[in-house]
Amino acid sequence: METKGKLYIETYGCQMNFSDTQIVNSIMTDHHFETTPHIEDADLIFINTCSIRDNAEKRVRARLQEFKRYKKQKPGLVIGVLGCMAERLKEQLIEQEKMVDVIVGPDAYRDLPRLLDVAETGQKAINVMLSADETYADISPVRLDGNGVAAFISIMRGCENFCSYCVVPFTRGRERSRDPKTIVDEAAGLFNEGFREITLLGQNVNSYKDDNGNGFPGLLAQVAAISPELRVRFATSHPKDLSDELLQTMAAWPNICRSIHLPVQSGSDRILKLMNRKYTREWYINRIQAIKKYLPECALSTDIISGFSSETEEDHQQTLELMRYVGYDYAYMFKYSERPNTLAAKKHKDDVAEEVKSRRLKEIIDLQQKLSLKSNKQDIGKTCEVLIENESKKSKNELSGRNSQNKVVVFPKGNQQPGEYVQVKITACTPATLRGIIVEA
Ligand code: 5AD
Ligand code: SF4
């Protein structure tokens, strides 16, 4: 069958968005569109967008301006905005950005072929309906750009935690879990294709529940049981729901990676309450202690927001102190960005001055650099198992992979290939990378 046109997709935001792009690829190729990595060749340009912070939206808007150029060269070119910004702004976005033809929210991707038919007649097309049950469970993601070694599988959609700063519950809707059989089948299929690492994705994987009431630990064990040669990771965990059962399951399966991403956001109880995080500093520390008890080798990473509404110097110091106590291996750190219509936008004034937010963020980043370096230095002299992913970005004579703790490890190439496991003795490090040499197992 003849192709209906060439599609180019650009993706911004979280892993969930990248995973959604693979669903869109699949829907579009099933409907006889071809994908292209070259924007100049495209008849359709999709941009899968993020609303998490104001600068994420600004980046997308700047990119849309650049797309105008392609539209001038090819008047029939269709531009579609997908994802969280589509959902948040709806029709408004077409009024503001005239080059946009199609607007599609995260739960409406099955409707894309119809929306494109509408757009072909010259009308603007929009579907931003959220769904209580759409999980795209039957759609096999088309993974175009990847290394063929590590893949993401989304196991649930949406979020109902309503952290007061966060736009996600509004853009991604109700929380729903995907049928476990389709998840395990997809993972097994990927393993048979040669993939060796699966990351199970959800906004809060700890609240995964299938129709029979089985939770996340059971699902994780089923995926881990596919093969000892398959590594399993997951993200993200909400501290309020991190159970001992999950930690026991991890301890029982060596191929479940020793790394937990546990966003803390703030070290101050007062701020945690305003953020509606539903846990205290004490609860969080108790979860960290449980991780250390069951999984002494486990790496810890986190997300931190600086300068949330009313944050004082003392609140900020409590965040720094908690970071030191936990000794995070890695962190994603952000300045608070007020999002329209969130609980915080309605109730908690964005009253920390920009310079104060920036200075606190810098202190958080500087501390994390030190903690990462300290953690990496402790690995020098140790030998760890590394799953090779690709050639190192800096040198063709080096390979790069990650260890179970999710640390990037770079080492000189022998005759090994991506997808193989090797034992690497660590000899040097920076805050971001471990270096080493291959040793016999
Ligand atoms: N401003 C700044 N950071 C935010 N995050 C979520 N919403 C906001 C916001 N409004 C951060 C949180 C979350 C991560 C994905 O993004 O730390 O864990
Ligand atoms: Fe992902 Fe949140 Fe950004 Fe949406 S707003 S793309 S859920 S990070």
* CA 205 to ligand 2 center in whole angstroms: 15
> CATH number for the domain including 391?
2.40.50.140
- Ligand 1 pocket check: which of 14, 17, 50, 52 to mutate, most ligand atoms within 8 Å of Cβ? 52
pLDDT in tens, 127-160: 999 999 999 999 999 998 889 999 999 999 999 9
Q: Using a 6 Å cutoff on CB, does residue 51 contact ligand 2? A: yes
pLDDT given for residue 276 in this prediction: 98
Name which residue sits closest to atom 14 of ligand 1, judged by CA: 303
> CATH number for the domain including 208?
3.30.750.210
- My answer on whether 388 and 368 are in the same domain is no
Pick from 127, 158, 193: which residue ends a domain? Answer: 127
pLDDT in tens, 50-86: 999 999 999 999 999 999 999 999 989 999 999 999 9
* pLDDT surpassing 90 at residue 2: no
Which among 169, 160, 329 has a CA at the least distance from the CA of 259?
329
- My answer on whether 301 and 357 are in the same domain is yes
CA distance 407 to 431: 10
* CA 169 to ligand 2 center in whole angstroms: 10
- My answer on whether 9 and 118 are in the same domain is yes
User: Which ligand number lies closest to the CA of residue 301?
Assistant: 1
Name which residue sits closest to atom 7 of ligand 2, judged by CA: 168
* pLDDT surpassing 90 at residue 213: yes
* pLDDT surpassing 80 at residue 422: yes
- Ligand 2 pocket check: which of 17, 18, 19, 60 to mutate, most ligand atoms within 8 Å of Cβ? 17
CA distance 157 to 107: 9
Instruction: Give percent of the chain above pLDDT 90.
Output: 97
Q: Using a 6 Å cutoff on CB, does residue 82 contact ligand 2? A: no
- My answer on whether 291 and 392 are in the same domain is no
Domain count within the chain: 4
pLDDT in tens, 193-208: 999 999 999 999 999 9
Q: Quick check: is 252 in a domain?
A: yes
Could you give phi then psi for residue 23, rounded to 5 degrees?
-65, -45
- My answer on whether 423 and 312 are in the same domain is no
Range of the structural domain that residue 28 is part of: 5-127
Name which residue sits closest to atom 3 of ligand 2, judged by CA: 50
Residues 347-361 have a mean pLDDT of 98
CA distance 112 to 117: 9
Which among 9, 63, 74 has a CA at the least distance from the CA of 35?
9
Nearest ligand 1 atom, CA 335: 2
Q: Quick check: is 227 in a domain?
A: yes
pLDDT in tens, 83-135: 999 999 999 999 999 999 999 999 999 999 999 999 999 999 999 999 999 99
- My answer on whether 150 and 232 are in the same domain is yes
* CA 65 to ligand 1 center in whole angstroms: 26
Provide the 10 A C-beta neighbour count for residue 437: 13
Pick from 257, 273, 294: which residue ends a domain? Answer: 257
Q: Using a 6 Å cutoff on CB, does residue 263 contact ligand 1? A: yes
- My answer on whether 296 and 232 are in the same domain is no
pLDDT given for residue 327 in this prediction: 98
Which residues are within 8 A (CB) of 299 and not within 5 positions of it... i.e. 6 or more apart? 258, 259, 260, 329, 330, 375, 405, 406, 407
Name which residue sits closest to atom 17 of ligand 1, judged by CA: 303
User: Which ligand number lies closest to the CA of residue 49?
Assistant: 2
Residues 342-366 have a mean pLDDT of 98
User: Which ligand number lies closest to the CA of residue 50?
Assistant: 2
* CA 56 to ligand 1 center in whole angstroms: 11
Residues 33-46 have a mean pLDDT of 97
User: What's the mean per-residue pLDDT of the chain?
Assistant: 97
CA 165, 170, 172, 173: dihedral to nearest 10 degrees?
120
Q: Using a 6 Å cutoff on CB, does residue 13 contact ligand 2? A: yes
pLDDT in tens, 393-420: 888 899 999 999 999 999 999 899 999 9
Q: Using a 6 Å cutoff on CB, does residue 171 contact ligand 2? A: yes
Nearest ligand 1 atom, CA 52: 7
- My answer on whether 29 and 97 are in the same domain is yes
Q: Quick check: is 266 in a domain?
A: no
3-state helix, strand, coil in the chain (%, to 5): 40, 25, 40
* pLDDT surpassing 80 at residue 35: yes
CA distance 69 to 39: 11
- My answer on whether 25 and 61 are in the same domain is yes
Residues 372-385 have a mean pLDDT of 98
The separation between CA 38 and the C-alpha centre of its own chain, rounded to angstroms, equals: 25
User: Which ligand number lies closest to the CA of residue 239?
Assistant: 1
Name which residue sits closest to atom 7 of ligand 1, judged by CA: 166
Q: For residue 187, what is the enclosing H or E element?
A: helix 180-193
* pLDDT surpassing 80 at residue 441: no
CA distance 139 to 108: 13
Pick from 377, 395, 418: which residue ends a domain? Answer: 377
Nearest ligand 2 atom, CA 16: 1
* CA 172 to ligand 2 center in whole angstroms: 8
Q: Are 362 and 369 in contact (CB under 8 A)?
A: no
Q: Using a 6 Å cutoff on CB, does residue 337 contact ligand 1? A: yes
Which among 159, 157, 154, 227 has a CA at the least distance from the CA of 193?
227
Which among 140, 88, 82 has a CA at the least distance from the CA of 108?
82
- My answer on whether 193 and 245 are in the same domain is yes
- My answer on whether 368 and 391 are in the same domain is no
Q: Where are the beta strands (DSSP E) in 150-298?
A: 150-154, 156-157, 176-177, 197-201, 231-235, 259-261
* pLDDT surpassing 90 at residue 299: yes
- My answer on whether 296 and 368 are in the same domain is yes
Q: Quick check: is 137 in a domain?
A: no
* pLDDT surpassing 80 at residue 1: no
Q: Quick check: is 278 in a domain?
A: no
